[in-house]
Chain A
């Protein structure tokens, strides 16, 4: 859902740029509270992996494709603040080196994919986790995978909704048309997002989570 240049007007571009800069700054500030040196290589590899995975467009339906976004994966792997930094790194490289996403629209794309998407996934996952369900259900692998799937799916759909809102705000397309169109296609693409996030997170958590044994956990505690 990278917005190219030439669609948004100056007001929308400027507004999105200011909002994304503020949110990115807040995310970075929250990330540095709990980011240890030992986590730095992980952030780099996570960003590199998300960049690579975003290259793989998969067909969804009716001659349309989508690709993994990775914002939910990043949010679950390192928290929403650091996820914003990781996603922004991916978007900046895509924009500057590969002209994927407009240069002027970078603020809007960061807002949608590096701020809205990870926070949506994070907050929805927290809300789901807080649901009053029996302990046996929350402990089950399937239930935890479903929560991740739903949160990741929603991260793509909500981010697409924001993109649609920006396009409408800029007068590029009427809200009543662009919003349902964006939500429809990204509801389909989000299924891929949910599935890939659930699988990738299982692997990434093996990196993040030390054994539950006390010694390792304590030593890692400062990094989290």
Chain B
């Protein structure tokens, strides 16, 4: 990677690399995520070993409608499953949507910060 460092520094090249990172995010969320492990994560495992069960964990077993009212309103795709689609597309669509929305949120936040920054000396 260091061999191409001079070329990498050119704005055009960096733009391409930024696009490549964005596309890789879409591919990871849309395709590779299908192969993610479904095992409990570190927190879930630690709590399970201690016999702690959150109300949320209990609710995971129950239908989505029984979840907290707020989560029902905002969570368009609970647990990364887009509603109304079959298993694989549901997860891919949820992942791709998440990447796009996350980009938008972080971009908007950065935009606000950068504008305020421009007003400073």
Q: A47-B102, A99-B67, A206-B1 are in contact. Are A35 and B50 (CB under 8 A)?
A: no
A: residues with CB less than 8 A from B are: 1-7, 28, 31-37, 39-53, 55-60, 62-67, 82, 85-86, 88-90, 92-94, 96-100, 102-103, 160, 163-164, 167, 172-174, 177-178, 181-182, 184-186, 188-189, 202-204, 206-207, 209-213, 216
Residues from 70 to 121 in B contacting A, C-beta threshold 8 Å: 70-71, 74-80, 94-95, 97-107, 109-111, 113-118, 120
User: By the criterion CB–CB under 8 Å, are A182 and B8 in contact?
Assistant: no
**A143 CB, min distance to chain B CBs, angstroms:** 15
Residues from 1 to 33 in B contacting A, C-beta threshold 8 Å: 1, 5-11, 14, 17-18, 21-22, 24-26, 28-29, 32-33
Across the interface, name the chain A residue whose C-beta is closest to B74: A96
User: By the criterion CB–CB under 8 Å, are A99 and B71 in contact?
Assistant: yes
Give bound CA distance, A45 to B49, whole Å: 37
B: residues with CB less than 8 A from A are: 1, 5-11, 14, 17-18, 21-22, 24-26, 28-29, 32-33, 35-43, 45-47, 49-50, 52, 54-59, 67-68, 70-71, 74-80, 94-95, 97-107, 109-111, 113-118, 120
**B101 CB, min distance to chain A CBs, angstroms:** 5
Where chain B touches its partner, the secondary structure class is helix
Q: Which of A33, A40, A49 contacts B22 (CB 8 A)?
A: A49
User: By the criterion CB–CB under 8 Å, are A44 and B110 in contact?
Assistant: yes
Across the interface, name the chain B residue whose C-beta is closest to A216: B9
Across the interface, name the chain A residue whose C-beta is closest to B80: A98
Q: Which of A52, A102, A213 contacts B28 (CB 8 A)?
A: A52
Across the interface, name the chain A residue whose C-beta is closest to B101: A93
| Residue from B17, B46, B99 having most chain A Cβ neighbours under 10 A | B46
Q: A41-B107, A57-B41 are in contact. Are A32 and B117 (CB under 8 A)?
A: yes
User: By the criterion CB–CB under 8 Å, are A52 and B79 in contact?
Assistant: no
User: By the criterion CB–CB under 8 Å, are A45 and B103 in contact?
Assistant: yes
Q: A4-B54, A43-B107 are in contact. Are A96 and B75 (CB under 8 A)?
A: yes
User: By the criterion CB–CB under 8 Å, are B9 and A49 in contact?
Assistant: no
Contacts of B54 in A (CB 8 A): 4-7, 172
**B75 CB, min distance to chain A CBs, angstroms:** 4
Give bound CA distance, A195 to B34, whole Å: 22
Q: Which of B37, B47, B78, B94 contacts A59 (CB 8 A)?
A: B37
Contacts of A206 in B (CB 8 A): 1, 5, 8, 14, 17
Give bound CA distance, A46 to B95, whole Å: 15
User: By the criterion CB–CB under 8 Å, are A63 and B45 in contact?
Assistant: yes
Contacts of B113 in A (CB 8 A): 28, 31-32, 35, 82, 85
Give bound CA distance, A90 to B57, whole Å: 22
User: By the criterion CB–CB under 8 Å, are B8 and A48 in contact?
Assistant: no
